[in-house]
């Protein structure tokens, strides 16, 4: 069975500082990996996805993530955060033949001025 | 705007009651997924429909059911509601069932269900 672990439930950071949100997954088969963002009182919006190819994936809003197969990780990074990045971030996996997503518990990113 | 529409946005109902949540997928999307988001369980996949047929089932209670209609909109029916069923219910849609590049799911804004 697949599972996703987001190691930090909350990450406080100052504006313009770099941030890394950690995600580890477990699966016995190849998976596709996603990061979604949820702003307060909103639905989930896709930040980026890894399907195959280059292990460094760039997404929207300046975010990027690196797929590391040996460490089964897919950490999300941003070199300089803004107040507007304050939100909850979800890492998710899906198997290639199925579209449904298995989500981590989420990481609340709080950007302070 | 993701293009996925969910109604109603908020719903308050009493224990033991039955409610129906509605989802209109993005134009052209054949797959509809339902997810439940609660504080204790997080985001959990409930069920998927593809072009009118049930495709995959997750942690969906027997008291809950869903269907997808010929016009591709979907409804999630929740019956014999309990306090613990209070949650945010999301619908998502994607174009195709199995094409890897189309596994991206677009989420609606959710229906917040409160059972009192």
CA dist., res. A92 & res. A82, Å (int): 23
Partner residue facing B56 (CB), from A96, A100, A105 = A100
Q: Closest Cα to residue A69, out of A6, A27, A7?
A: A27
User: Both ends of chain B: CA-CA distance in Å?
Assistant: 31
How many angstroms away from the CA of B60 is the closest CA of chain A?
Answer: 13
pLDDT > 90: percent of chain B: 77
Disruptive mutation site among A6, A32, A99, A102 for chain B (greatest number of B CBs within 10 Å): A99
Between B6 and A99, the more confident residue is B6
pLDDT band at B97 (very low <50, low <70, confident <90, very high): low
The shortest CB-CB distance from B43 to any of A90, A94, A96 is to A90
Nearest-CA distance from B110 to chain A in Å?
6
Residue range B43-79, pLDDT digits in tens: 999 999 999 999 889 989 999 999 999 999 999 999 9
SS3 for B92? strand
- Residue A73 C-beta-side C-alpha neighbours within 13 Å: 14
Tokens representing residue A8 in the block:
């930090």
- CA–CA separation, A10 vs A7, rounded Å? 9
pLDDT at B105: 85
Residue B58's CB is within 10 A of a number of other CB atoms, namely: 16
Residue of B100, B105, B110 with shortest CB distance to A101: B105
Rounded Cα gap, residues A92 and B114, in angstroms: 26
Rounded to the nearest integer, the mean pLDDT of chain A is 91
Q: How long a stretch of residues is chain A?
A: 113
Spatial separation of the C-alpha atoms in residues B93 and B48, rounded to whole Å:
9
pLDDT band of residue B100 (cuts 50, 70, 90) is low
pLDDT tens for residues A62-110? 999 999 989 999 999 999 999 999 999 999 998 765 678 899 999 999 9
Taking an 8 Å cut-off on Cβ atoms, the answer to whether A100 and B33 are in contact is yes
CB of A94 less than 8 A from some CB of B: yes
pLDDT of B111 above 70:
yes
């Amino acid at each position: 069975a697949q599972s996703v672990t987001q190691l930090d439930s909350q990450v406080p950071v100052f504006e313009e500082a770099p941030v890394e949100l950690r995600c580890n997954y477990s699966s016995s088969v190849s998976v596709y990996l996603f990061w979604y963002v949820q702003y307060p009182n909103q639905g989930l919006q896709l930040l980026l996805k890894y399907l195959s190819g280059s292990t460094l994936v760039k997404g929207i809003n300046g975010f990027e993530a690196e797929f590391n197969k040996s460490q089964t990780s897919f950490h999300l990074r941003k070199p300089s955060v803004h107040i507007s990045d304050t939100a909850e971030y979800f890492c998710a996996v899906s198997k290639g033949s199925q579209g449904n997503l298995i989500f981590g518990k989420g990481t609340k990113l709080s950007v302070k001025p | 705007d993701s293009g996925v529409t969910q109604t109603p946005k908020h719903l308050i109902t009493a224990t033991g009651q039955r409610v129906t949540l509605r989802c209109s997928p993005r134009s052209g999307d054949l797959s509809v997924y339902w997810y439940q988001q609660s504080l204790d369980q997080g985001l959990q996949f409930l069920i998927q429909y593809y072009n009118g047929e049930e495709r995959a089932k997750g942690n969906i209670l027997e008291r809950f059911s869903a269907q997808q209609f010929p016009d591709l909109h979907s409804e999630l029916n929740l019956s014999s509601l309990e306090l613990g069923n209070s949650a945010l219910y999301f619908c998502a849609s994607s174009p195709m069932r199995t094409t890897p590049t189309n596994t991206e799911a677009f989420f609606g804004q959710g229906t917040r269900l409160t059972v009192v």
